[in-house]
């Protein structure tokens, strides 16, 4: 094992949070920063083309290729669980949707961890700090940051009909989902720039940051475990990490802090491999317990989407537009000439937020609507015109876990989301399918004669619909909360309100795993905000020291 040079900060994971942190921490040339990424460079051409997620998810070049455990709530099914394994992390393979969630999410975080800094009004400036919004700057949006937020470059009549039908069903229109209450229906804004995907690596590493002499980037380098030691007073400290690189196993030292930015799967896995986690789990795998923290890997939350498919007449959809070689050629030509059309599509183009039943004060379900249909992700499009309306429960009460299977970093952990394991989640699933039917049954859709292909009108009762959700629902790729923050007296909390690992000096977790509860919407941009906040705290701590 070789010793590498020491750094002030070592960042594990060059994904959404890690790229921003590397940018902010290395802005002072006196600070030495190492950014470590287990995946490779993001030079695969399909990363930049928005529709290229189809070729990145399930590809070992860009995806960890995780699978869930067999899930009782899904009637024994396992799900593919994509996570980015490439520079930019999941921001290089995700759906590109810019969504902050609802103000109540952040107010609940503040209550959970006893720190008013997490309230919505205090988080908003950190969203704005890195944002470059197409509409310019105002009280809600930033205009001079690195994170492009743009309108989509496409149009579909069948999606316009969904907007009209949703309004007829009582859902108001909205042009901006990101002002604290995302209720409404409208087209999603996306993290793209001139028709190209805009990842965290594009935003925060290129072109200037990656050239800084005080920033070192390692790719194809997987951290095996953290290096822990005891200070003179007996307190546990993180000194660095053991990293498997192309040159062999190396030890890196962090003079100030080591920061885990490996996501809701990778961060708890690495803590457990290092002896930080539930004692019984560590003992089963022959790992000496350095610090017992029962919450490491617990509290997993995710958004489960239920896909309804409707065949239509008299409306062009991607199913038939892309059915021929000529159609595919026209699509490619449109993108080459204008950076628009189907190749510029995010996986979902249209969104809606509403309530599954009147008892909910805030919108508790989200729609992702697409002008296409298929049996399952990665399979061919249907040979008839159709659209898909996927709906997810924004605030699931089911809780899962991430646990190591062995003491080896190369072995994927066991991911058990425990979807639909509560009565409330099953009730919301059934009610949300009824809301979908109510929208599609409005007059705005009549001219297209929609026919429910999936799940099928024969399913009507609560029991039928809940069981059906288990048969057809799938993840929308938003795992969070496996290293959640909390108060000092909260035995399940892994980090404090400033994201420092409880009981371990010089170690933080900065990624989606620290969320106490999942945001009411897509999770990528909230993760950037978390990283922006953490960078400020870390720099303040360094200045005081």
Compute how many other C-beta atoms are within 10 angstroms of the C-beta atom of residue 182: 24
Residue 368 annotated in active site: no
Instruction: Give the integer Cα–Cα distance in Å for 440 and 82.
Output: 30
Structure tokens that stand for 36 in this block: 């470590």
Extended strands (E) in 25-85: 33-36, 66-67, 80-81
| Beta-ladder partners of 216 | 34
Structure tokens that stand for 46 in this block: 């399909």
Instruction: Give the integer Cα–Cα distance in Å for 151 and 190.
Output: 6
| CA-to-CA separations, 15 to 32, 101, 131, 500, 539, in angstroms, rounded | 19, 20, 17, 19, 20
How many H-runs (helices) and E-runs (strands) does the chain carry? 14, 25
Instruction: Give the integer Cα–Cα distance in Å for 84 and 66.
Output: 10
Instruction: Give the integer Cα–Cα distance in Å for 212 and 220.
Output: 20
Query: Are the C-beta atoms of 92 and 199 separated by less than 8 Å?
Result: yes
Nearest alpha carbon to residue 242 among 426, 80, 4, 416? 4
Q: Which residue, chain included where needed, has tokens 């080459």?
A: 336
| Catalytic site residue from 130, 368, 382, 478 | 478
Which residues contact residue 55 at a Cβ distance below 8 angstroms, ignoring those fewer than 6 apart? 46
Q: Which residue, chain included where needed, has tokens 């909205």?
A: 174
Structure tokens that stand for 447 in this block: 């001219």
Residue 35 DSSP SS3: strand
In terms of DSSP bridges, do strands 147-149 and 131-133 run parallel, antiparallel, or are they unpaired?
parallel
Residue 515 DSSP SS3: coil
Nearest alpha carbon to residue 522 among 373, 387, 348? 348
| CA-to-CA separations, 94 to 90, 192, 220, in angstroms, rounded | 6, 12, 20
Element of type H or E holding 167:
helix 157-168
| Beta-ladder partners of 485 | 495
Residue 207, preceding peptide bond in cis (omega within 30° of 0): yes
| Distance from chain centroid for Cα 471 | 23
Q: How many residues does the chain have?
A: 545
Would you please indicate which residues are annotated as catalytic (active-site) residues? Answer: 478
């Amino acid at each position: 094992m070789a010793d590498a040079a020491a750094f002030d900060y070592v960042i594990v994971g060059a994904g959404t949070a890690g790229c921003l942190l590397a940018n902010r921490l290395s802005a002072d040339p006196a600070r030495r920063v190492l950014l470590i990424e287990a995946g490779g460079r993001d030079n695969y051409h399909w990363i930049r083309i928005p529709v290229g997620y189809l070729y990145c998810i399930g590809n070992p070049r860009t995806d960890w290729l995780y699978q869930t455990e067999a899930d009782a709530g899904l009637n024994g099914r396992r799900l593919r669980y994509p996570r980015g394994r490439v520079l930019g992390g999941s921001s290089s393979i995700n759906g590109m949707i810019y969504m902050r969630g609802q103000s109540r999410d952040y107010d609940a975080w503040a209550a959970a961890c006893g720190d008013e800094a997490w309230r919505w009004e205090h988080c908003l400036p950190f969203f704005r700090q890195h944002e470059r919004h197409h509409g310019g700057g105002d009280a809600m949006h930033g205009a001079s940051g690195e994170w492009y937020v743009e309108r989509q470059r496409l149009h579909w009549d069948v999606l316009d009909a969904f907007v009209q039908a949703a309004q007829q069903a009582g859902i108001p229109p909205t042009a901006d989902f990101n002002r604290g209450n995302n209720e409404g229906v409208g087209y999603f804004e996306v993290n793209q720039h001139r028709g190209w995907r805009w990842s965290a690596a594009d935003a925060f590493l290129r072109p200037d940051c990656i050239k800084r002499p005080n920033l070192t980037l390692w790719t194809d380098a997987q951290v095996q475990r953290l290096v822990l030691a005891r200070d003179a007073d007996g307190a546990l400290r993180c000194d660095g990490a053991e990293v498997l690189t192309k040159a062999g196993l190396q030890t890196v030292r962090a003079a100030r802090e080591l920061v885990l930015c490996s996501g809701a799967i990778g961060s708890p896995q690495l803590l457990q491999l290092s002896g930080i986690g539930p004692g019984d789990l560590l003992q089963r795998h022959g790992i000496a317990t350095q610090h017992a923290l029962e919450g490491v890997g617990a509290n997993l939350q995710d958004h489960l989407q239920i896909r309804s498919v409707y065949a239509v007449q008299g409306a062009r959809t991607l199913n038939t537009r892309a059915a021929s070689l000529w159609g595919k050629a026209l699509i490619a030509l449109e993108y080459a000439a204008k950076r628009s059309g189907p190749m510029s599509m995010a996986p979902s183009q249209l969104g809606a937020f509403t309530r599954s039943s009147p008892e909910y004060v805030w919108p508790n379900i989200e729609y992702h609507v697409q002008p296409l249909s298929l049996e399952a992700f990665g399979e061919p499009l249907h040979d008839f015109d159709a659209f898909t309306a996927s709906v997810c429960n924004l605030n699931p009460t089911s809780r899962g876990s991430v646990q190591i299977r062995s003491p080896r970093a190369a072995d994927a952990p066991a991911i058990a989301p425990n979807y639909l394991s509560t009565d409330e989640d099953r009730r919301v699933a059934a009610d949300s399918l009824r809301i979908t039917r109510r929208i599609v049954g409005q007059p705005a859709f009549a001219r297209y004669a929609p026919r429910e292909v999936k799940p099928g009108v024969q399913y009507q009762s609560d029991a039928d619909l809940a069981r059906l959700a288990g048969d057809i629902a799938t993840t929308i790729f938003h795992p969070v909360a496996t290293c959640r923050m909390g108060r000092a007296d909260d035995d399940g909390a892994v980090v404090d309100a400033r994201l420092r690992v409880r009981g371990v000096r010089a170690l933080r977790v900065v990624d989606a795993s620290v969320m106490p509860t999942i945001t009411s919407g897509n999770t990528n941009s909230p993760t950037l905000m978390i990283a922006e906040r953490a960078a400020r705290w870390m720099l303040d701590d360094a200045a005081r020291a």
